[in-house]
Structure 1
Amino acid sequence: MRRAVITLGTLVLVLAAALVVIGVRGGGSDGKAAAPAPQPTATAGAQPTATLPPDDGGYVAPEQTVTLPTGAAKAGGLPVKFPRTPEGAAAMAVSSVRNAWALDPARIRAGILAYASTRYRDEMASAADMGAQGNREFAGIATTGPVPTGATLNAWPVGVKYTAVDSSTVDVLVLLRVTHAPKVGAEPTTTLIVSPGRAVWENGDWKGVPTDPNQPLPDPVDVGTPFFNEDRWMAIQEGDRL
């Protein structure tokens, strides 16, 4: 499996790490920078490719793990009503980022309606089709026409960092693997991504608001490597696996 490394960092909601991919920086194994996907409100040029430090090959267990709370209700089939704790804010961010990496605009729109702040929700929902097109472009799929048989795009959050600004605001970084293939028989590509976001307490739940497009972000590192621990990521514990 080929592995690429990119970092997303621009005007994104915590719910939309790839929903409308504004500025993608990095690239695949050929070293070429990935082109930015369309975004309705802002754009950012591609940045130099980030590279991982060499991996010695042995598995290194995470030093910090976290079991994030589940939502007390569902909206559009997605968990909502997370507890008013930093862990609850991180759980919302993880759920929204996972859902944003989709090829179906209806699924993307459902995530926006579930997780966006009311101030931005309608504008973002109107861009769900563009979000799906951007995701298709990222996955190497034509942006129009039926999705090819066997084409996939799946996100697996593996790490998280969160900092409470105050009791109503939490900054969150989500580290995830995104795996995609453009058609049946194509070799999947796994990309490591750091997705920034800010969660605010609004109407009894955590919602996503835009983040500073110029904030510095750590390079993506994979769980199971020493760099994961050096960068103080917490591995997300879900069910029987990290």
Structure 2
Amino acid sequence: MVRTDKRGGRFSRSALWAAGVMLTAVVGLTGYTALSGDKGPPPSIQPGTNPPASTTATPAPVPVSTYSLPATWTEPQRWLAAPRGARTTGGRETGFPHSTEGALGMLVASSGFDVEGSTTLVDEQLAFYTTYTAASDQTPAREQRIRQGAAKADARARVAMGLPESGPLPPGAWVRTHLVGFKLIQAQPDTVSAHLLLRTAQKAGETTPEAVSYVVGTIGAVWREGDWKLDPSGGASPGPGPAPEIAAPGDVSFNAQGWTAIRQAS
């Protein structure tokens, strides 16, 4: 199924599904989402076309109406140089400063997913779970649920992209996601929660156009075991006001919605 916006840009249901799968992994056991996507121009030219949506409490991503990013770039008014972790665990950054910025640095690191080649969503989600969930919150039963759920989501995403349900992805096929913006809900010494704006891009093969989707979700981080960990208890419940609408960096609405753009410190 393909939908067309008023400028003729198009996005596929597979882009929506892939973005939803990745945010489900990123927000883990908490949060709520709103989702849409579009096939936009290559990022080297300008950000892809992206949808705005008022986020509402919902257990699963849902498609919403689309819009086209204005041709004129508007510089984000707020930037954060997110700190990097002091070490790596299983190839992922850990050891973040005990500060609000450190919590956000962990969220930047934990939101980076790269599914391509022989890597699957199961691999990425299990690495995410074991690295960014406190050891005291991990159980064999929970890991098994995550493994089974990720396997089903991985197979469904492949079908939506027109790819085989199992085996290595073909050359040029991938799904990648990263955090591009945030808006704080609360910040305390050992607890931080925020709305997150994530960008997911996917290609079904070398000759297939890139499809870009943006997702908004909320998530909590807690200081546990000497580092920032994801809060699995539902601590990322929405704040008293509405969540910001989706607006990509470069859109004037990005500033109007109160988003802060991300730069990762060197």
Q: Same fold (TM over 0.5)?
A: yes
Matched, 1:82 2:96: yes
CA distance in 1, matches of 2:37, 2:83: 34
Partner residue of 1:36?
none
Q: How many residues align?
A: 224
CA distance in 1, matches of 2:100, 2:156: 34
For residue 2 of structure 1, report the CA deviation from its aligned partner.
4.9
Identity within the alignment, %? 23
Question: Could you say if the C-alpha distance between residues 54 and 84 of structure 1 is closer, same or farther in structure 2, counting changes exceeding 3 Å?
Answer: same
Partner residue of 1:204?
226
Matches within 5 A, 1:99-178: 99=113, 103-104=119-120, 105-122=122-139, 123-126=141-144, 127-128=146-147, 130-135=149-154, 137-138=156-157, 140=161, 141-178=163-200
Question: Could you say if the C-alpha distance between residues 19 and 202 of structure 1 is closer, same or farther in structure 2, counting changes exceeding 3 Å?
Answer: closer
Question: Could you say if the C-alpha distance between residues 116 and 80 of structure 1 is closer, same or farther in structure 2, counting changes exceeding 3 Å?
Answer: same
Q: Could you tell me which of 244, 251, 256 is aligned with 1:225?
A: 251
For residue 45 of structure 1, report the CA deviation from its aligned partner.
5.5
Query: Is 106-115 or 227-236 further displaced after alignment?
Result: 106-115
Question: Could you say if the C-alpha distance between residues 24 and 111 of structure 1 is closer, same or farther in structure 2, counting changes exceeding 3 Å?
Answer: same
Question: Could you say if the C-alpha distance between residues 61 and 27 of structure 1 is closer, same or farther in structure 2, counting changes exceeding 3 Å?
Answer: closer
Question: Could you say if the C-alpha distance between residues 124 and 182 of structure 1 is closer, same or farther in structure 2, counting changes exceeding 3 Å?
Answer: farther
State the TM-score, normalizing by the size of structure 2. Answer: 0.69
CA distance in 2, matches of 1:165, 1:120: 22
Q: Write out per-residue CA displacement over residues 15-73 of structure 1, whole angstroms, 9 at most, x where no aligned residue.
A: 9327799987545559xxxxxxxxxxxx93664x3335564321000000010111111
Partner residue of 2:108?
94
Partner residue of 2:214?
192
CA distance in 1, matches of 2:36, 2:214: 11
State the TM-score, normalizing by the size of structure 1. Answer: 0.75
Question: Could you say if the C-alpha distance between residues 7 and 58 of structure 1 is closer, same or farther in structure 2, counting changes exceeding 3 Å?
Answer: farther
Name the SS for the 1:88 alignment partner.
helix
Counterpart residue type for residue 72 of structure 1: A
Mapped contact 2:191–2:221 kept (Cα < 8 A): yes
Name the SS for the 1:147 alignment partner.
coil
Partner residue of 2:59?
44
Question: Could you say if the C-alpha distance between residues 88 and 3 of structure 1 is closer, same or farther in structure 2, counting changes exceeding 3 Å?
Answer: farther
Matched, 1:68 2:82: yes
CA distance in 2, matches of 1:24, 1:171: 15
Q: Write out per-residue CA displacement over residues 115-143 of structure 1, whole angstroms, 9 at most, x where no aligned residue.
A: 01334433553323532542453462443
Name the SS for the 1:191 alignment partner.
strand
- Structure 2: runs of 5 or more not aligned: 1-8, 40-57
- Structure 1: runs of 5 or more not aligned: 31-42
Name the SS for the 2:264 alignment partner.
coil
